[in-house]
């Protein structure tokens, strides 16, 4: 039994995965662009995650681009039967590292085939459509056409399950009218809680919510209340923030990313950390994002 089992599991498509997984974004170079600074270290982190029991990896072929998926393949292929790899499409990287929309049918199909090739698989476990009306903030706009493209690729046997990223609840409903949605990946963390109505709605339907930037992303979480809670518990602030997420809602699946073996161990250890009621109450009211 691994430490990850302490937080339980939740359905992700046709599998149940541990609620603490691994996000591969930080394995790419600075700004999620170019190769890693330490290739051997990146491979070691991936292998250590799997050995520790991680069965859910989040990635994308536009991380790098291509570098992250190639690292995953080099480190882990052939993949364990219980490993679920979730990727996303809908964006491409510009020559200088910009994040550009890639919503046309041709771009989406090409992205699916790039993911298949670079991961070394015949079918992708889960593909999230990344809405790019705003880079990190959900914004209204129709996703009917691009999601229909992915649904057709699913019917052709290239994708097992579909998800969404950076979307509104109205866009989730629009997608569900086309094909089942097994997960939603939006920004949510201790100091960024705008999606709480979305999380509750998805929990009622048994749909996983996967918060990106669970630790703040490019700007790490900073809060005096968080620091005080961690000091009282004898944990790190980031472990406390992850434990808060796990206790916030049963359908949250975490994908903290790191290129450090020590940080990986700390992140995974958060699965066994339970915050006392008084700490939860303090973080509920006193967080100063």
Contact predicate 186/166, CB 8 Å? yes
Summarize pLDDT for 262-287 with one digit per residue, the tens.
999 999 999 999 999 999 998 887 66
Residue 177, Cβ neighbours under 10 Å: how many?
8
Summarize pLDDT for 176-201 with one digit per residue, the tens.
999 999 999 999 999 899 999 999 99
Residues 6+ apart with CB under 8 A from 144: 174, 178
Contact predicate 128/112, CB 8 Å? no
Residue 105 phi/psi, 5-degree rounding, is: -60, -40
Q: Which residue has the tokens 């992708």?
A: 124
Using DSSP, state whether 129 is helix, strand or coil: strand
pTM, whole model, 2 decimals? 0.96
Nearest to 173 by CA among 147, 134, 154, 194: 147
Q: Give me the helix-helix angle, 67-76 and 39-51, nearest 10°.
A: 50
Nearest to 3 by CA among 239, 182, 208, 229: 239
Q: Is 79 in the active site? A: no
- Full set of structural domains in the chain with CATH: 9-221+251-259 (3.20.20.100)
Least-confidence region, from 76-85, 189-198, 199-208? 189-198
Summarize pLDDT for 31-62 with one digit per residue, the tens.
999 999 999 999 999 999 999 999 999 999 99
Q: C-alpha distances in angstroms, 72 versus 21, 24, 32, 85?
A: 14, 8, 15, 10
Summarize pLDDT for 91-122 with one digit per residue, the tens.
999 999 999 999 999 999 999 999 999 999 99
Could you tell me the pLDDT band of residue 124, with boundaries at 50, 70 and 90? very high
Cα separation, 244 vs 189, whole angstroms? 9
Q: Looking at 63, 79, 188, 209, which residue is catalytic?
A: 63
Cα separation, 204 vs 226, whole angstroms? 29
- Sign of the torsion formed by the C-alpha atoms of 267, 272, 276 and 277: positive
């Amino acid at each position: 039994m691994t430490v990850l089992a302490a937080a339980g599991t939740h359905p992700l498509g046709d599998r149940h995965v541990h609620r603490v997984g691994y996000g591969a974004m930080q394995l790419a170079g600075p700004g999620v662009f170019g190769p890693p600074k330490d290739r051997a270290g990146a491979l070691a982190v991936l292998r250590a995650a799997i050995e520790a029991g991680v069965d859910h990896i989040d990635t994308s072929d536009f991380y790098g681009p291509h570098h992250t998926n190639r690292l995953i393949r080099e480190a882990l292929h052939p993949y364990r039967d219980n490993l679920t790899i979730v990727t996303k499409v809908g964006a491409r990287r510009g020559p200088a590292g910009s994040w550009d929309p890639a919503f046309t049918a041709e771009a989406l199909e090409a992205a699916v085939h790039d993911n298949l090739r670079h991961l070394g698989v015949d079918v992708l476990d889960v593909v999230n459509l990344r809405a790019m009306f705003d880079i990190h903030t959900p914004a209204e706009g129709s996703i009917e056409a691009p999601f229909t493209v992915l649904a057709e690729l699913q019917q052709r046997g290239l994708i097992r399950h579909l998800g969404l990223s950076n979307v509104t609840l109205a866009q989730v409903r629009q997608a569900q009218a086309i094909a089942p949605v097994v997960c939603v990946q939006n920004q949510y963390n201790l100091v960024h809680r705008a999606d709480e109505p979305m999380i509750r709605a998805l929990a009622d339907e048994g749909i996983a919510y996967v918060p990106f930037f669970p630790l703040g992303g490019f700007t790490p979480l900073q809060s005096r209340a968080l620091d005080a809670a961690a000091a009282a518990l004898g944990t790190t602030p980031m472990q406390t923030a992850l434990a808060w997420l796990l206790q916030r809602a049963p359908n949250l699946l975490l994908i903290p990313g790191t290129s450090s073996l020590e940080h990986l161990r700390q992140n995974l250890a958060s699965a066994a950390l339970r915050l006392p009621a008084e700490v939860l109450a303090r973080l509920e009211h006193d967080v100063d994002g």
